[in-house]
Amino acid sequence: MINSNNRITQLLTQEHETILQLGQILKKINGLWKNNEKKFIEIIDFLLHFCQIYADKIHHLKEEQILFPIMIEQNPMLEQGAVGEMNDQHEMFREFIIEIKIAMENKDFEIAYSIFQKYVELLSDHIQIENFEVFPMADDLLSSEINEQLYFKALDVDMEYSREKNELTQKVNQLLKDLNIVIS
């Protein structure tokens, strides 16, 4: 018996919610490097770690290795279309992270911050395209059986990274709380 809630697309959409919290945190630390450099570095280091582990290793990898190949198998045109575009953007996000790290190492905080802002802006657009175009396309394209099979494959990945995923989610929530306290 197939449960229509067991869709890989639903699981990925939930992860998008956590990833989008990055933007809220980043907004709140604008200019922090001027009066608390240590705190700014600490938060950016965490955000970079979050992007590399949660957004990239846990989330993008599930899209690239579990969902997208099956979509392309069902409709090969997607490799040069919407799905190929999503894969290319994942690569671009990896390059952004490297650029932010270099700027941080050089203590070019303003530059690091503005690249990070651009990263979040592009990542938010990417997420909108997935939520409103690519995932609905996947739901139409894949049978409920396949969508559920992919959901369980994705859960296996989550099991493998469950400790990291929980820790990162908790830290993001804690940071949001702490920043509210500091700022209000």
Region of 2 (left: φ > 0; alpha: ψ -120 to 50; beta: rest) is beta
Q: Nearer to Fe ion by C-beta: 83 or 112?
A: 83
Q: Least separation, in Å, of the C-beta of 126 and Fe ion?
A: 6
Distance CA 80, CA 44 (A): 35
Size of the site for Fe ion (CB under 5 A): 3
Q: What is the DSSP letter of 36?
A: -
Distance CA 11, CA 5 (A): 9
Of the candidate residues 40, 130, 147, 150, the single one contacting Fe ion (CB under 5 A): 130
User: Can you read off the two tokens belonging to residue 30?
Assistant: 């604008």
135 binds Fe ion (CB under 5 A): no
Q: Nearer to Fe ion by C-beta: 73 or 133?
A: 133
Max distance between CA atoms of the chain, in angstroms, equals: 58
Q: Least separation, in Å, of the C-beta of 171 and Fe ion?
A: 20
Site string for Fe ion, 79-108 (x = CB under 5 A): -------x----------------------
Binding-site ranges for Fe ion (CB under 5 A): 63, 86, 130
